[in-house]
Amino acid sequence: MSDQNTKHPVVRCAYCKKKYFRSLQRINEARKYRWRSFCSKECQSKFRKRGSWLICARKGCKNKFYRNSSIIRKNTRCFCSNSCAAVVNNSIRIPKLKILKKCRMCDKYLKCGKVYCSLECKSLGTQITTKEILIWIKRFYKLNSRIPLKRECVHYYATRNRFGTWNNAITAAGYDPNPVMFAKKYIAKDGHKCDSLSEKIVDDWMFRRNVKHERSVPYPGHEQFTADFVVNKYWIEFFGLSGESKRYDFLKRKKIRIAKKLGLNLIKIYPKDLYPKGNLNKVLSFLANEK
């Protein structure tokens, strides 16, 4: 009996704690690979299944399923299948808002990448004479005291076909275009020098409402970057070329990160807030109440 105990020492089952004989070779192998010892395959199977029987978390599904305890701790809700999980997750997912554009000639919404909703609208948008285009530009200048932007012209594609470029049409109408980015400066009504006509519109909006503001104020600790306007604790940026220049988009993201790092109240204005219909009364309405 002593020889048998030497060759087959007594070990304890890792699941039921029952003592049983096992060969010295298997014991050494288990110690080497850090394996647990079991008295039977049944105990080994039960040890691995240390989970719980659950009911699917999807409303209306009463399927019961077994799930390991490690997975139960990671997820607050458990589902019997991927399809049940997809149904629940899709129901609470917030859909992305799609920015829909309207046809240049009518109020119908367009598909992505289109300008006109149909061939009829496209033909109407291009069926305009050179004389009518020049009359439209002069009428716009008379009403708004500035030259129109190409995004404001319903007949832009017809204008490009007649004159070659938008700036050629502005020149033919007797006005001075601004072909170089930020080459021409504009003076606002309060005397501030603005880099673009759009910035002048924002500056004049604040001047008419007696909103005290500063122009081209450097960011604290980042003097190479300046904000377009500063009103008390608000830093205002007009991102007029967003999405049109990679270099401009890089600088825009840089300014946004700086403002977030410094904890500044950054107000972002885009061309859609100015053209074709002014939306500054909604975007900057709170500034009228600032002292």
Element (H, E) at 126: helix 119-126
Q: Comparing C-alpha atoms, which of 281, 213, 227 is closest to residue 259?
A: 227
CA atoms of 98 and 109, how far apart (whole Å): 12
| Six token digits for residue 250 | 């890089």
In the chain, which stretches have pLDDT less than 50?
1-5
Distances (CA, A) of 274 to 118, 144, 159, 189, 219: 27, 13, 22, 18, 25
Q: What is the pTM of this model?
A: 0.44
Q: For residue 219, what are the β-bridge partners? A: 222
Element (H, E) at 131: helix 130-144
Predicted local confidence at residue 182, as pLDDT: 53
Predicted local confidence at residue 7, as pLDDT: 59
- Peptide bond preceding 276: is omega within 30 degrees of 0, i.e. cis? yes
Predicted local confidence at residue 132, as pLDDT: 87
Alpha-carbon torsion, ordered 173, 174, 175, 180, to 10 deg: 80
